[in-house]
Amino acid sequence: MRIFKSHPLLKLVNSYVVDSPQPIFKSHPLLKLVNSYVVDSPQPSNLSFLWNFGSLLAFCLVIQIITGVTLAMHYNASVLEAFNSVEHIMRDVNNGWLIRYLHSNTASAFFFIVYLHIGRGLYYGSYKAPRTLVWTIGTVIFILMMAYVLPYGQMSLWGATVITSLMSAIPWVGQDIVEYKTIICNRIVIWGGFSVNNATLNRNATLNRFFALHFVLPFVLAALALMHLIALHDSAGSGNPLGVSGNYDRLPFAPYFIFKDLITIFIFILVLSMLVFFVPNLLGDSENYVMADPMKTPAAMLLPFYAILRSIPNKLLGVIAMFSAILILLVMPFVDLSRSRGIQFKPNFLVLLTLGAKHVESPFIEFGQISTVLYFAHFLIIVPSISLLENSLVDLALASPTQERSVVKHEGTAREGMVRATVISGYSSYLLPFVLALVAYLCIDYLVSFSGCLSCDAPRPWGLYFQDSASPQMEGLVELHDNILFYLVIILFGVGWLMVSIIKTYSSTESPISHKYLSHGTLIELIWTITPALILILIAFPSFKLLYLMDEVSDPAMAVLAEGHQWYWSYQYPDFLNSDDEFIEFDSYLVPEADLEEGALRMLEVDNRLIIPELTHVRFIVTGADVIHAYSCPALGIKVDAYPGRLNQVSVMINRPGVYYGQCSEICGILHSSMPIVIESVSIEKFIAWLQEQ
């Protein structure tokens, strides 16, 4: 044993392992740090699997760095050779296909898990003190990890073009910063040229810039991730699903939470392996297998923030709104004034995610604008308002002197948190009218859409006016027609809210507001509940009444209004029409191509079927009869044939006069754009004037 005390190296080992009064993990400076973070770190005992996203993100980042450095050894940042270098990795490098697919699929998984991680933080209030610094660093990581790509194919080039073009929205100097010159150094800054392509002096300037950023930023993200972890460790540690203090029941990180993290890591490895080995391109885009061409127009980026950008017609304001949608996460610790942490006891983003993938057309533009307003309202209006409302209700529920003394005595304890959670969960039933109104809307819309469509000759019981949302092209009249269901739901919501508030106040002795304080509590509660309900009813009822009046419009009146206005459409004839076909056949009816010349005035009706060119939106005003539905849906029994080189045959149904705006978009996944259709209509002002005269 003397050798352990005489040999220089073994003496060092002996001092730390054999003769050390403390274990090496608690005495060595570096291992002591690891021990405090990974082994002995106390964590709340009620953590769910939603707290495993952090370890998954660290695992993804390690995979990205390892595979990215390996791919960088073979990637050529050249306009002409970037695409070929990727193909070289796939075909010639040993296991290059595996490295590349691991890199690309892990990147997609990284984004997906980050959104889940942020969603969990918003849901459980992880942004509130004392974890404000943790949330701020996480938001900085979220900003840095977005919007940098490495172009080699068409889709990655489009992404780079769209992302860098956002800088051109800066007034006066934006365009120079992106593509041309700066006043200071007279050098091109971002693109290095007039597109993501060749530069004036260095034809690979753009790719060199992107490659440098793409290589360095993951290491910056890793450093910020360590800062994120340090800030979490030095604050109160991890939160928990209840939002209460976890100091009363904690467990060491090892071995309990290490094995819990390993479960999700193994599941992630299984899913990632299935993607890499069986469907490696499932999360990618086929356009990226086409060599990048800067002369082609970028496609839509599938991002919820891109939907916010497109919802605002002004370029500068749209870019500001898009960046504000990300930066607004920083204000959450300051606008959430509630004493309860998170919204797990309180019964948009996915809507924006879906709208970002849609084409820039109605009604997706209107839905995007509404969703954008709701997105910002959640952070700036809804959260602060609900926080103040909750605090008032909690004060009312805890108005008893005994309860008040108990809460003051145990302030900051788990008991106070559980009492507040119970009170808030009791008041969450005020959302019941909203849920019921939403269910009623979906059920009625389902019945309206499918009723009478198994046989298209049968009239639909709800008639003309329960249809999809109207286009702004149809102005106010059609908006009222098509939004009758919306106003009906608002009335149901208001009435339901009023009934629930009264029932909860007077029904049982278990109400959060004690009957002992009923006079004071009832007054405040009714102010909070009846007032919004009455406002909603007063706003919706006049419009509902006007819709009922318009429903009684007679046939002669519509005939007078439509007098002198003819059907016509103007369109550019499709270039891809097969000129070799002499006729186009629909249900044994032959339409000569010669009769479908450009700009021809024609409306073909054959067996209650309307033959129209390719279109996305069309507007109808008919005398004596009206088209009830003219949009494609095979499940409704509406027959629509939309193929390149052919016309669209849309089944229609005659019912009664009126105004209707229908749409026929993305038929069978083939028709993604439209030929401009213009159908002359009577003026809305004239129709409103006639209604007033009646």
Most confident of the following: 21-25, 553-557, 586-590: 21-25
Residue 73's pLDDT is 94
Mean pLDDT of 436-449: 56
Lowest mean pLDDT among 184-188, 469-473, 653-657: 653-657
Q: Among the residues of 235-328, which ranges form H helices?
A: 258-277, 304-311, 315-327
For the chain, domains (ranges, CATH) are 1-37 (no CATH), 41-283 (1.20.810.10), 300-384 (no CATH), 398-552 (no CATH), 561-693 (no CATH)
Mean pLDDT of 50-61: 95
Mean pLDDT of 26-37: 82
Evaluate whether 631 touches 693 at the Cβ level (below 8 Å).
no
Q: Higher pLDDT residue, 604 or 122? A: 122
∠ at Cα 54 (49, 56), nearest 5°?
Answer: 80
Q: How far is CA 605 from the centre of its chain?
A: 42
Residue-wise burial string across 396-413, b where 16 or more C-beta atoms lie within 10 A, e elsewhere = bbbeeeeeeeebeeeeee
Report the side by side order of strands in the sheet with 648-651. Answer: 604-606, 609-612, 648-651, 640-641
Would you say residue 81 has pLDDT above 80? yes
Count the neighbouring beta carbons within 10 Å of the beta carbon of residue 545.
11
Residue 264's pLDDT is 94
Amino acid at the residue 133: L
For the chain, percent of residues with pLDDT exceeding 70:
47
Evaluate whether 651 touches 637 at the Cβ level (below 8 Å).
yes
Of the pLDDT bands very low, low, confident and very high (cuts 50, 70, 90), residue 668 is: very low
Residue 146's pLDDT is 78
Residue 690's pLDDT is 52
Lowest mean pLDDT among 204-208, 485-489, 578-582, 687-691: 578-582
Of the pLDDT bands very low, low, confident and very high (cuts 50, 70, 90), residue 93 is: very high
CA distances, 624 to each of 131, 459, 557, 653 (Å):
67, 15, 10, 13
Mean pLDDT of 666-693: 37
For the chain, percent of residues with pLDDT exceeding 90:
17
Burial of 694 (0-12, 13-18, 19+ CB in 10 A): exposed
Lowest mean pLDDT among 174-178, 296-300, 321-325, 604-608: 604-608
Would you say residue 225 has pLDDT above 50? yes
Q: Give the mean pLDDT of the chain.
A: 64
Evaluate whether 590 touches 596 at the Cβ level (below 8 Å).
no
Residue 439's pLDDT is 62
Would you say residue 603 has pLDDT above 60? no
Lowest mean pLDDT among 59-73, 128-142, 449-463: 449-463
Q: Higher pLDDT residue, 558 or 364? A: 364
DSSP 314: S
Q: CA-based diameter of the chain, in Å?
A: 115
Would you say residue 573 has pLDDT above 50? no
Residue 378's pLDDT is 78
Evaluate whether 390 touches 340 at the Cβ level (below 8 Å).
yes
**Which sign, positive or negative, has the C-alpha torsion 102, 54, 216, 79?**
positive
Tokens of residue 95, six digits: 């296991």
Would you say residue 337 has pLDDT above 70? yes
Lowest mean pLDDT among 134-148, 410-424, 604-618, 659-673: 659-673
Of the pLDDT bands very low, low, confident and very high (cuts 50, 70, 90), residue 71 is: very high
Evaluate whether 638 touches 453 at the Cβ level (below 8 Å).
yes
Of the pLDDT bands very low, low, confident and very high (cuts 50, 70, 90), residue 232 is: very high
Count the neighbouring beta carbons within 10 Å of the beta carbon of residue 267.
13
Residue 436's pLDDT is 60
Residue 575's pLDDT is 33
Residue 619's pLDDT is 31
∠ at Cα 155 (151, 156), nearest 5°?
Answer: 25
Would you say residue 628 has pLDDT above 90? no
DSSP readout, 108-150? HHHHHHHHHHHHHHHHHTTTSTTSHHHHHHHHHHHHHHSS---
Residue 278's pLDDT is 94
Residue 533's pLDDT is 62
Would you say residue 43 has pLDDT above 80? yes
Of the pLDDT bands very low, low, confident and very high (cuts 50, 70, 90), residue 437 is: low
Residue 693's pLDDT is 63
The reply to whether omega before 130 is within 30° of 0 (cis) is yes
Residue given tokens 């559980």 in the structure block: 418
Q: What is the pLDDT of residues 464-511, one digit of tens each?
A: 322 333 333 333 334 444 455 555 666 666 666 666 666 555 554 444
Evaluate whether 423 touches 397 at the Cβ level (below 8 Å).
yes
Q: Higher pLDDT residue, 13 or 312? A: 312
Q: Higher pLDDT residue, 461 or 169? A: 169
Residue 240's pLDDT is 86
Mean pLDDT of 362-373: 79
Would you say residue 375 has pLDDT above 70? yes
Most confident of the following: 398-407, 612-621, 648-657: 398-407
Mean pLDDT of 631-635: 33
Residue 325's pLDDT is 87
Would you say residue 618 has pLDDT above 50? no
Q: How far is CA 420 from the centre of its chain?
A: 31
Q: Higher pLDDT residue, 598 or 376? A: 376
**Cα 492 from Cα 655, distance rounded (Å):** 29
Residue 273's pLDDT is 94
Residue 435's pLDDT is 60
Of the pLDDT bands very low, low, confident and very high (cuts 50, 70, 90), residue 197 is: low
Most confident of the following: 18-22, 69-73, 672-676: 69-73
Would you say residue 345 has pLDDT above 50? yes
Residue 19's pLDDT is 62
Find residue 61's DSSP bridge partners: none
Would you say residue 222 has pLDDT above 80? yes
**Cα 325 from Cα 118, distance rounded (Å):** 13
Of the pLDDT bands very low, low, confident and very high (cuts 50, 70, 90), residue 452 is: very low
**Cα 348 from Cα 378, distance rounded (Å):** 9
Residue 266's pLDDT is 94
Would you say residue 333 has pLDDT above 60? yes
Q: Higher pLDDT residue, 163 or 324? A: 324
Evaluate whether 618 touches 612 at the Cβ level (below 8 Å).
yes
Would you say residue 676 has pLDDT above 80? no
Q: Higher pLDDT residue, 133 or 341? A: 133
